[in-house]
């Protein structure tokens, strides 16, 4: 019989928003590829091969900085994504990586 490779998970949580982006979905990118959209007050489990992965959240032309996570076989990395700053900081929409905040839990 063939050997099976254990998967790993990246869990992404997006808390409910007061109003900024509440009706909009964010793209979650893993290793430079857009893999799934996440709405407000959602949590998603993304199966990935064990190892090191670069994760980023994006909306339109902007998003979060890339975070590098390492996930062991059968393990899980937990991330949270939300709007950065406040809705009064409109200038963030004009930056490539300052509009969204992504944190490792």
**67 within a domain of the structure (yes/no):** yes
The CA-atom distances, in angstroms, between 61 and each of 16, 40, 75, 98 are: 22, 19, 32, 11
Which carries the bigger pLDDT value, residue 20 or residue 100? Answer: 20
pLDDT of residue 29: 96
CATH number assigned to the domain comprising residue 51: 2.60.40.1120
Total domains present in the chain: 1
Quick: pLDDT tens for 21-65. Answer: 778 899 999 999 999 999 999 999 999 999 999 999 998 878 888
CB burial class (10 A; 0-12, 13-18, 19+) of residue 74?
A: exposed
**17 within a domain of the structure (yes/no):** yes
When computed from its CA atoms, the radius of gyration of the chain, rounded to whole angstroms, is: 15
**2 within a domain of the structure (yes/no):** no
**3 within a domain of the structure (yes/no):** no
**1 within a domain of the structure (yes/no):** no
User: Residue 37: helix, strand or coil by DSSP?
Assistant: strand
pLDDT of residue 93: 45
**70 within a domain of the structure (yes/no):** yes
The predicted model scores a pTM of 0.76
* pLDDT of 5 strictly over 50: yes
Distance spanning both ends of the chain, measured CA to CA: 38
Parent domain of 98: 8-104
Element (H, E) at 54: strand 51-59
**49 within a domain of the structure (yes/no):** yes
**93 within a domain of the structure (yes/no):** yes
Query: Do 40 and 100 contact (CB within 8 A), yes or no?
Result: no
């Amino acid at each position: 019989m063939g050997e099976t490779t254990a998967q790993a998970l990246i869990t992404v949580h997006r808390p409910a928003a007061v109003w900024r982006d509440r009706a909009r979905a964010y793209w979650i990118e893993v290793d430079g590829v857009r893999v799934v959209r996440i709405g407000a007050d959602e949590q998603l489990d993304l199966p990935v091969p064990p190892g090191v992965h670069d994760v980023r959240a994006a909306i339109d032309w902007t998003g979060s900085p890339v975070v590098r996570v390492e996930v062991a076989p059968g393990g899980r990395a937990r991330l949270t994504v939300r709007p950065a700053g406040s809705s009064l900081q409109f200038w963030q929409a004009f930056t490539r990586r300052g509009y969204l905040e992504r944190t490792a839990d």
